[in-house]
A and B are shown apart, each in its own frame.
Chain A
């Protein structure tokens, strides 16, 4: 199985960084339209949606079950689902599972909140002011191009090995999707609406609050969703290096101890937690879009 080859940190690095950047650059442009469509209610959560969405996971689980039980692949390469659940129970009994999940969640949410706020401010400056755009766009583009892991050594030296460097790294990761979508959206607010606002006597600030900001709400929301996904990616980057707790630490620790069952567990938890937080934002998104589009 591929786990042996991919398990090592040196191999993980490049794959982590490409994944870390590509969603922002790809989806940053594509997402607003998707959001608009969902805003008109074409993407509804119905019973059949949930059922259909569960088909492929169920299929994968079955394949996993069969592959682990009916083949000769040794457990240290492919643990069975039961063994992975057992690993989870074992960690929970030691009181570690809850702690790891909570500390990771806390890091993601704190970093996300800080990063999103910074991204909003930078996006507003670059999107609304021509001078701001000329001044900041090149440097921000360059900073954004730096792979997440490249920050880690420097952050460790400057900020130590505790929470601050990790949250800083996650904030860096979360800031850019918000910055990119907000700046782009503000720059492309329908000029006809802006002119109409001007014709009806709106000055610079009222124009911003009456026309420009409401117009970019869908983009802001999709930017926040991307930022949250990015925050999870950067969390693992942060925790892979210097940590003693968290899901990223669980990955490194399990790799060092050859605990493939725990590796599976950590990966599954990251997937489930990422999807769950995204779904929560999605609920807020639907409410916002109903109001603002």
Chain B
């Protein structure tokens, strides 16, 4: 991606992430009763890897993602990016939230601008935003306001904004969860393209097994044991094959059955 015409002006170097015994408890109403959401999460993520955090809703996936982004702090354990501790709202990360969270009074292009690193030179910023608009196929919508575009377009803007800084770690919190099934598939393909063009480390929260199988190098299952409060990693699965993957592959079908099984959903596989 150096001499190519579409090479990003913002050089991305994917960074490793390490989670060491991460736990998060929220103080309850009476001070004695804490609510333990996460416990003992131990995970090493390689630079450029795509990891999907999968689990039933409310199991702490988003909370774990917020620990990595530095928007929230663990109550036990520690996290590092590239060997150094994660700062509050760590700027080596970029987040695309479950909702697009665009500023309604700014145009699409100006919203993407928000994601540029502080102190980016104006001209360079404009070039970068132009590239990103092209990458998420929204060049035609650059001057529209968020209320004038569809939900799928808004999520692409949100994705472009997260990519604007060339993040070492890209955190995606169910970014396609609210989209219709077809748009979701298109967005997944787009993400594969983006990852090839700008290879960041990606941590993706999802409750969609197929999405995890289509995108992830590894799928990390979060779950709670019946006898202990707090979710932790219950299983890690390696997903074989290079992206884009054949959605109808039998290998993936077998993995899907395993995952659904682990999530407690009957897969009806092989009947």
Q: Which residue numbers of A lie inside 8 Å of B, CB to CB?
A: 40, 192-193, 195-201, 210-211, 214-215, 217, 291-293
Known A192-B97, A192-B99, A210-B114: A198·B89 in contact at CB below 8 Å: yes
Contact in complex: A201, B101 (CB < 8 Å): no
Asked if B115 lies at the interface with its beta carbon under 8 angstroms from chain A, I say: yes
Residue of B nearest to A196 (CB): B101
Complex-state Cα separation, A70 to B89, whole angstroms: 77
Greatest chain B CB density within 10 A among A198, A199, A201, A211 is at: A199
Q: Report whether over half of chain A's contact residues are helix, strand or loop; otherwise say mixed.
A: helix
Contact among B95, B118, B147 for A199, CB-based, below 8 A: B95
CB-defined A-B contacts under 8 Å, sample of 24 = A192-B97, A192-B99, A193-B103, A195-B71, A195-B101, A196-B95, A196-B97, A196-B101, A197-B114, A198-B71, A199-B69, A199-B71, A199-B94, A199-B95, A200-B94, A200-B114, A201-B118, A211-B103, A214-B103, A214-B105, A215-B103, A217-B105, A293-B104, A293-B105
Known A195-B71, A198-B71, A201-B117: A292·B105 in contact at CB below 8 Å: yes
How far, in Å, is B237 (CB) from chain A's closest CB? 29
9 smallest CB-CB distances across A and B, nearest first, come from: A196-B101, A292-B105, A199-B95, A201-B91, A198-B89, A214-B105, A192-B101, A201-B118, A200-B114
| Residues in A whose Cβ lies below 8 Å from that of B105 | 214-215, 217, 291-293
* Residues B77-124 near A (CB distance < 8 A): 89, 91, 93-95, 97, 99, 101, 103-105, 114-115, 117-118
Greatest chain A CB density within 10 A among B91, B114, B117, B118 is at: B114
| Residues in B whose Cβ lies below 8 Å from that of A292 | 105
Q: Which residue numbers of B lie inside 8 Å of A, CB to CB?
A: 69, 71, 89, 91, 93-95, 97, 99, 101, 103-105, 114-115, 117-118, 147, 161, 165
| Residues in A whose Cβ lies below 8 Å from that of B91 | 201
Residue of A nearest to B106 (CB): A214
Complex-state Cα separation, A199 to B90, whole angstroms: 8
Complex-state Cα separation, A201 to B119, whole angstroms: 11
Complex-state Cα separation, A77 to B83, whole angstroms: 89
- A sample of 14 more A-B contacts (CB under 8 A), given A200-B114, A201-B91, is A192-B99, A193-B101, A195-B71, A197-B114, A199-B71, A199-B94, A199-B95, A200-B161, A201-B117, A210-B114, A211-B103, A217-B105, A292-B105, A293-B105
| Residues in A whose Cβ lies below 8 Å from that of B93 | 199
Complex-state Cα separation, A211 to B114, whole angstroms: 10
How far, in Å, is A206 (CB) from chain B's closest CB? 8
| Residues in A whose Cβ lies below 8 Å from that of B95 | 196, 199
Residue of B nearest to A199 (CB): B95
